[in-house]
Amino acid sequence: MTKVITVSNRKGGVAKTTTVITLGHGLALKGKSVLLVDVDPQGHVGPALGLEQEPGLFDLLVARASLRNVTRQARPGLWVVPGNARTNTAQTVLVAERADDRALARALVGQVNGGALDYIILDTAPSVGRLQELALWMSDLVLIPSATDYLSSAGIADLVGSLKDMQGKGWRGRLLGVLPTFFDQVTRESAANLDELNSAFGDLVLPVIHRATVLRECAAEGKTVFELAPTSRAADEYGALVWRVLDAKA
């Protein structure tokens, strides 16, 4: 059965897209079949993997294109439904049509490359909107990256509160955890913000992802850290996240 992971935070600049593509590629390297879905109008998932921006999600939801026709292969075992600014239009149409909570899930049902998917990972926008709601509703697991270079626990608490409200309305997913990103062990600010996250969320806080120049270089070259710097600390840290996901029970 396909497991759906939504990567979400209502703040920008927290490494959501980096986490989506690195986690997805890491799972693919473990032999899993993975589909990344760009639900953010910024459309960064495709370029981060060396692909072009395309209105893939718009075509899927508004033009009623088939999943097969809007999917692009990024790596062996790794596929992408790309997005661009037209994703905003798709959201407007969904609101106008009063799309129900399963609208996105229904659109993403199907086989890719002739086989069933092991994972679907959704990259969401740092805003509250209907597409973000639909991405959360279809998820089995929610992962919240949180930068440790500014206070962000309040925004996370708001999102966690929304997830609890959804559970009260029948959502069967759960929070996988809060992923501290951009951690700098030599600055007091990072340490203070990590302490705040630990105090607020306890065992839900996952091992940190340190700030790393190589992660910025990856985005510029359209590669993941497992390709550009497979022996780096960043690769080890994201590799640990991959194993956490493989071991997670929805």
User: Residue 30: which domain range?
Assistant: 3-247
Arithmetic mean of pLDDT, 124-147: 94
pLDDT bracket for residue 111 (50, 70, 90): low
Mean pLDDT, rounded, for 51-71: 95
Please provide the average confidence, as pLDDT, over all residues in the chain: 94
Cβ proximity of 129 and 97 under 8 Å: no
Amino acid letter at 122?
L
Q: What is the pLDDT of residues 14-46, one digit of tens each?
A: 999 999 999 999 999 999 999 999 999 999 999
**What's the alpha-carbon Rg for the chain, to the nearest Å?**
17
Strand blocks (E) in the chain: 3-7, 34-38, 72-75, 78-81, 119-123, 141-147, 174-181
How far apart are alpha carbons 249 and 65 in whole angstroms? Answer: 32
- Give the CATH number for residue 82: 3.40.50.300
- Alpha carbon distance 157, 194 (integer Å): 15
Find the mean pLDDT for residues 181-194. 92
User: For the chain, what is the domain count?
Assistant: 1
CA–CA dist 208, 10 (Å, integer) = 19
Is the pLDDT assigned to residue 150 strictly greater than 80?
no
Summarize pLDDT for 190-229 with one digit per residue, the tens: 999 999 999 989 999 999 999 999 999 999 999 999 999 9
Sign of the Cα torsion 24, 22, 20, 250 reads positive
Examine the pLDDT at 245 and tell me if it is beyond 90. yes
